[in-house]
A and B are shown apart, each in its own frame.
Chain A
Amino acid sequence: MPASAANNRPEDLTARLGVGAGAAQGEVLLKALREVKNQIIGNKTKKLLYLHLGAVPKIVSVLAAAGSASDDSGGISRGGDAAVIVQAAAAIGSFACGVEDGVRAVLDAGAVPHLTSILSHHDEKVVDAGARSLKMIFQSELAPKYDVLQEENLNFLLSLLDSDNENVTELAASIIAHSCETNEQQKALCDAGVLLRFVSLLGGSSNQKDGCLESIAAVIKNNPEVSSRFSCTGNGKALNALANLIQDRYPQTRLLACKCLIAVGHASPCYVEELQIKTKLVLVLVELLEEPGQVGNEAPFSLKTLIADDEELHKQALSVNAIEKLCSILQMSSVQARRLQGILLALAELCSKLEKCRCQLMSPQVLNLIVDALKHDCMDVRVAACNCIRNITRSLKTFYGFIDRSGCLQNLSAGCLSSEAFIVRLVQLLHDPSTSVQIAALGALCNIVINCATRKSVLIKCGGVSQLVQLSKSMDSVLRSKSVLALRNLMFLADITDKEFILKELTLCTLASLIYDSECFIQEQALALISGLVDGCSQSVKHVFAQDSIILDAVMRQLQNASSIGVCIQGMFVLSNIAAGSESDKDTVMNYLVPPQTDSCIPSFTIKFLQSKDILLRVASLWCFVNLTDPASVGSSRRVARLQDAGIVLQLKSMLNDPCLDCKLRVRMILEQCMELETAQA
């Protein structure tokens, strides 16, 4: 009826929420509360409207007043008050459900202490309403963390867990799942017997089971001690209960049970080591991928966590068509950001190791969707898409296409991943406001630019090099190291024009400062980049001597002072490559290794490297001497004489039986070259 409708307008109802005590007015209030509650349930727009009208503080005041009236009556609540409390608590819970602003308003109005106090009300309906409402609040990330280390709080939680009321035990589970974060908290809860209680509650209602499973996961996560205590509970009863619950009829329960077993498996692997359990988990999670809503959104994340770094589980997932299912979800018309992120991360994990997994992804449709995700509004999705591309391009196959009978490029993945638009998009992500996206894009670019001339030239043409150079100067060491690695990979087998371009953008000065970087990994990458520059019979070697040998000096200084073996190896390969050049290049390297004026004082590193326990360092050093003693070079006899005088030939002879075959063969090669030169001279 029009009159009644007017009375139920949110503005009117909100005004009536402020009505004071009195039987008649109490009824008006109760009706208003009930009406507000009914209007906002499942209706986000209405919730926001009432929030705007300031309904929440009024309802909390009503709750506070009715609660204290109840107390004042010496514990004998009037029926009217109880009904008001129930409606007020229910309305508050509803405001806190699914709307962040609602949670904020409820918290700001101070609802939590009032709701907590009604948990001890003698009327079960009031307790139910309070517990439900608080559960809604504690399901939000915005809810305050409950300090479980305080004895009083812990006792309160235990008392809730001991309740026969399922809403109350579920509330305790919610609070624990929300608040338990540190090892200390996990241990305190475990010591207090909380896990034992949860296991006993796993036989309850579906909601109770889910609440307990979420809390169990929170209490054991990354805590080997607590996890193994849990696993031993009741001689494995707890684990058996979880194993049964992964086959529960409710998808949410299956997912949560999987999460618990994954948490146990990661914290104390010995309890979940049998492949059989893990295979079952893979199977359950792959089935859950297709569930709608939150379960489907979260399942790929759990699948990714379960199979992380485990080749055997990757194979299991592949055998139950995980990639196929993930790809078919990816191809649905609109996929929520969270779900898309999870799917891309799961695909990235599956493609991280096995070639046959990557092959399954190599359809142009799927690759295009992954490439499209690079443009997604959500930062996490962009990161996940970059990670996925990075792992796909670990396969060198993706670099090559082939042409079919009609002349079309058949390895379309190669085409897709070499397309200009795709590489340009990745380069654009190097400018992304989020550092995580920049790092992820660098990861993808590092692999993409390795072997393919087309990709190298697209990256260069679209300004990628200058952005990589900019990032190589970043204060963030991760950005710096990945951008230098990308430049190193770009330099690998690049043609002379591209090499010169990269160096021009980078400048010798920046390159020298990267060789001196505070991070060893970056020094190593910078030196490897120089090896790439000087590789082959090219003119690029002149750059290491330019500007008063700024680069060569930096290389030598690092070789003399470096603490990292990796830096020494790359430094020696630089010298080796220079020594493969002209007569004067060889002499320059020789003069650095064995200074002419002070033959007796060889830089300590020369012999030290030949005696190193690291095979690759010995190999790199030996190649340098192979090149210095090349019989085809006119100055080699002179250099051999100096190596003899400096005791290096003697050191080489002592390596004739080097345990490493490669070293032994290089030593033989050098000594044979020395003999050849001696014979020729004689």
Chain B
Amino acid sequence: MPVRVVESSTPSPDSGRESRTGRPPPPSSSLLSAGRAFSGTQNVSSLQKDEAWKVNVRIQGIDLENGYLCGTMEALNVPLADTPVVTFWEGELVDGNNFTFFTRKWEATPEDDIRHWSKFPSFAPLLSQVEADGGKNMDLSNYPYIFMRWKEQYFVNVGIDCGLTIAGFYYVCFSCSDGSINGFYYDPNSSPFQKLELKCIPGGCSGYTFSSYQLL
């Protein structure tokens, strides 16, 4: 979801992708699948005032082998926008293989990473190993939480002069039990620790529905 522009920033070209050694199996959950929708809020409060925007997210695609996922994010009651603001984002699954807990780009240092990941209580048991090597080759396939980074790539339905920025990215923690998502937006030029809280939408009138596609 976009936040208000404070100052423009350029992501560094460094990649957080780690070399493919060891290959632990990728973490997965049937609730983190293409088509699944989530709904909730992002707290964008500043010192001046408390504010939260309603947010809808939909996963558009997921490729576990390459630790990739993407989706759209819709912010509903953005004060400066006439319509809901939709952005397209791409995500990295922290799988110890394609990506570790260390971002190594987007102006995030390992210290920034640890500080943000530590905001999630479910990260505590992993802390010591992550501090050592970022969680390289860590087998997270049986861990009940999936950690991700979501980076908005562009606005889908408004111009870039809409007064909002997507320069930062989200540290995301997904609960495999109920599909709930917590996240923290990181942008050195925006309010720190803006919290994203999303609940999984079951889909059906009285239960969970699933639908899928297949790329050729």
The yes or no answer to B209 lying at the interface (CB within 8 A) is yes
B153 and A485 form a contact (CB under 8 A): no
* Surface stretch bound by A, among B40-48, B122-130, B158-166, B191-199: B158-166
Q: Which residues of A contact B208 (CB under 8 A)?
A: 576, 580, 623, 626-627
Does A117 sit within 8 A of B, measured CB to CB? no
A623 to B31, CA, bound (A): 10
Write the chain A residue with the least CB distance to B58.
A493
B12 near A: Cβ within 8 Å? no
**Stretch from A30-38, A170-178, A204-212, A402-410 at the B interface:** A402-410
Tell me the nearest residue of chain B to A444, going by C-beta.
B216
CB-based contact A535/B209 at 8 Å: yes
Is B24 interfacial (CB-CB < 8 Å)?
Answer: no
Q: At the interface, yes or no: A427 with Cβ under 8 Å from chain B?
A: no
**Is the CB of B144 closer than 8 A to any CB of chain A?**
yes
CA gap between A633 and B28 in the complex, in Å: 29
Chain A residues with CB under 8 A of B30: 619, 623, 662, 666
Question: In the complex, A218→B157 CA distance in Å?
Answer: 56
Q: Please, how many angstroms separate the alpha-carbon atoms of A661 and B154 in the complex?
A: 34
Q: In the assembly, what is the distance between CA of A401 and CA of B155, in Å?
A: 8
A 471-502 binary contact with B (CB < 8 Å = 1; else 0): 00000000000100100110111000000000
Return the chain B residue nearest A534 by Cβ. B209
- Whether, in the assembled complex, B132 has its beta carbon less than 8 Å from a beta carbon of chain A, the answer is no
**Contact of A402 with B206 at beta-carbon distance under 8 Å, contacts A531-B211, A619-B30 already known:** no
Asked if B159 and A404 make an inter-chain contact with CB atoms under 8 angstroms apart, the answer reads yes
Known contacts A443-B216, A447-B215; is-contact A402 B29 (Cβ 8 Å): no
A581 at the interface (CB under 8 A from B): yes
* B108 interface residue per 8 A CB criterion: no
Cα separation A581 to B208 with both chains bound (whole Å): 9
Query: Given that A407-B159, A537-B204 are known contacts, is A577 also in contact with B209, CB under 8 Å in the complex?
Result: yes
**Which residues of chain A are near B29, meaning CB under 8 Å?**
661-662, 665
The reply to whether A580 and B154 contact each other, CB–CB distance below 8 Å, is: no
In the assembled complex, A16 has its CB within 8 A of some CB on chain B: no
- Of chain A, the residue at the smallest CB distance from B29 is A662
Interface residues in A538-576 by Cβ distance below 8 A to B read 573, 576
Chain A contact residues, CB within 8 Å of chain B: 390, 394, 396-397, 399-407, 410-411, 443, 446-447, 450-451, 482, 485, 488-489, 491-493, 525, 528, 531-532, 534-537, 573, 576-577, 579-583, 586, 619-620, 623, 626-627, 630, 632-633, 661-662, 665-666, 668-669
* Interface residue ranges, B against A (CB under 8 Å): 28-30, 35, 60-61, 70, 72, 88, 90, 141-144, 153-161, 176-177, 202-216
15 residue pairs from A and B, CB less than 8 Å apart? A400-B72, A400-B156, A401-B156, A403-B158, A451-B213, A485-B216, A492-B213, A535-B35, A577-B204, A579-B207, A623-B30, A626-B207, A633-B206, A661-B141, A661-B144
Given contacts A485-B216, A535-B35, A665-B144, 8 further A-B contacts (CB under 8 A): A396-B60, A446-B215, A451-B61, A535-B211, A536-B204, A577-B210, A580-B202, A582-B206
Closest 3 CB pairs of A and B: A580-B204, A580-B207, A627-B207
